[in-house]
Amino acid sequence: MKISKQLLLITVITLIGLFSGGATAKAQNINYQTFKYGTSQTSMADGYYARPAQVNVSGNQYVVTMTIHTGEDLGAWPVTVLTIDGQSPQNVSKSHGNGYDYTYSFTTKNLNRTISSSIAIDVPGVYKANHNISFKFDTSGLPALNGKQGAAGNETKASDTNTATSPSNTNNIASGVNDPNLKSKLNKLNAQAAAQSSQAKKKESQLARQTLRQNAEVQATNARNQRLFYFVIVGGIIGIIIILAAAIYFVRSASKHIPRH
C-alpha cells in the first residue's frame, strides 16, 4: 500500500498547486485632467504633468503615481508638490534626462472625485510662488479594492490650505511686470506651458482610445484565461482519477501474485 500513499500525496500536492495560484495586480495606466483650483478650467500647470498616471491596488486603497516634467530652460525641478489630497507626497524621486522629472505618489480609497494639490513653483530670478490646483481622474476600468469598487464616493478629505498665495493661474503672472527682461522670461514660461498643454490634450485623446482598446483586450484575455483555468482543473482532476484507478488496479493485481505462506 506504499504506492497508494505516495500517489495520494502527489494528488494532494497537485490540487494545492492548481488552486493556490494568487492574482498579481498590475499597474493600471489612467488619464487625468488638471484644473485651476475650484474650477473646471484647465490650469496652465497642466502642460507640466506627464500622462498617464499609474495606479496600483494596495490592500484597500489605491496608490497613484504621477510625474511632473519640465524643460531644461526652467532650471532643475522648478515645480515641487507640497501636498496632494491633504497628504505629503510619498516616494518622491527626481531624475534628469531630457529635462527634469519629479515623480511622486499618494494614496486614496476613492478616485472618483476631485483631488486637490498644493504645488510650489520656483524659477530662479523669474518667478516663485505657491499655487493650488485640482485633478480629475478617468476611473473607467479602474481595478476594484478588495471586491469593492473604488468609485464609491463616501470618502472626502479637506483640501490643503497651507499655500502662500490664493489659487491662481500662471497665465497672468506677467501682468503688472515693468522689467522687460523679466516680462519676456515670464511670457516664455507661459508659452512653454501652453505648448505642452496642447500636446498633453492630444496625448489625452490618443490615450483615451488606447485605454478603451486595452480594456477590451484585457477583458477578452481574462475570459479566455478563465475558461482555460477551468479546463486545466477539470483535465487535471480527470487525469488524477485515471492515475489513481490505474494505481489501485496495479496494486490489487500485484497483491494477487504475491506468494502467501
The residue type of 170 is T
pLDDT tens-digit series, residues 44-101 = 889 999 999 999 999 899 999 999 999 999 999 999 999 999 999 999 999 999 999 9
**Residues 92/134, Cβ–Cβ less than 8 Å:** no
**Residues 105/84, Cβ–Cβ less than 8 Å:** no
Nearest-CA neighbor of 170 among 213, 99, 122? 122
| Structure-block grid coordinates of residue 228 | 482555460
- pTM here? 0.53
**pLDDT confidence of residue 228:** 73
Pick the range with the lowest mean pLDDT from 152-156, 199-203, 221-225: 152-156
Pick 28-218's CATH classification: 2.60.40.1850, 2.40.170.20, 3.40.190.10, 2.40.30.10: 2.60.40.1850
**pLDDT confidence of residue 165:** 39
User: What's the chain's average pLDDT?
Assistant: 75
Q: How far apart (Å, rounded) are the C-alpha atoms in residues 52 and 200?
A: 10
